[in-house]
Amino acid sequence: MARRVGSKDSKPRKRRMDEDLMRSGQETGEQEPEQQESLRAFMAGILNDEEYRNSFRARAKSERLTPAETMLLVEFGLMEAQKPKRSEDMTQRTLKCLTTDETRQVAEACRIMIRAEARANGRQEPGDQVRRYVTRNLVGEEIATWR
């Protein structure tokens, strides 16, 4: 019995998912991370192979690269060029100029700052002389004090 175009069913049909399809979908979903890792390992193995690198270098010099290899070369080249050059930190340059007494004072100030951050997060750093006391208020929330 044919229906006219645009007509609606009096009873909408229920679509059932085949159990085999659902199982296969679940199985492939579980296997994807393993496959991705093995694919990454495979690709890394090829790119880290010394023979392939020598062959790639020779073909690049003689201008006989495939289009895919050319894109790979360009992408990696651009990524390497965009990396910012690492310069000395201001702290490293400052520490080189300090005397031993000044270095001790800076280290002590850093220790005080680290302990203060640890206390604010509810932790006690090793070597901290202060004790953490925890009490509860009427609502049941913890109140931490340092003495």
Q: What digits encode the pLDDT tens for the residues 9-49?
A: 666 666 555 555 555 555 444 556 666 667 778 877 887 88
Q: What digits encode the pLDDT tens for the residues 47-80?
A: 788 888 888 888 888 888 888 888 888 887 777 7
* DSSP-derived 3-state class of residue 136: strand
The pLDDT score that the predictor gives to residue 109 is: 92
Sketch the domain layout of the chain as residue ranges.
22-80, 90-146
Q: How far apart are CA 106 and CA 91, in angstroms?
A: 11
- All residues at 6 or more sequence positions from 95 whose CB lies less than 8 Å from its CB, including other chains: 103, 106
The pLDDT score that the predictor gives to residue 101 is: 93
- Residue with the larger pLDDT of the pair 4 and 25: 4
Q: What digits encode the pLDDT tens for the residues 78-129?
A: 777 666 666 677 878 888 888 999 999 988 998 888 888 888 887 777 777 7
The pLDDT score that the predictor gives to residue 104 is: 92
Residue 3: which pLDDT band, with cuts at 50, 70 and 90? low
pLDDT exceeding 90 applies to what percent of the chain?
4
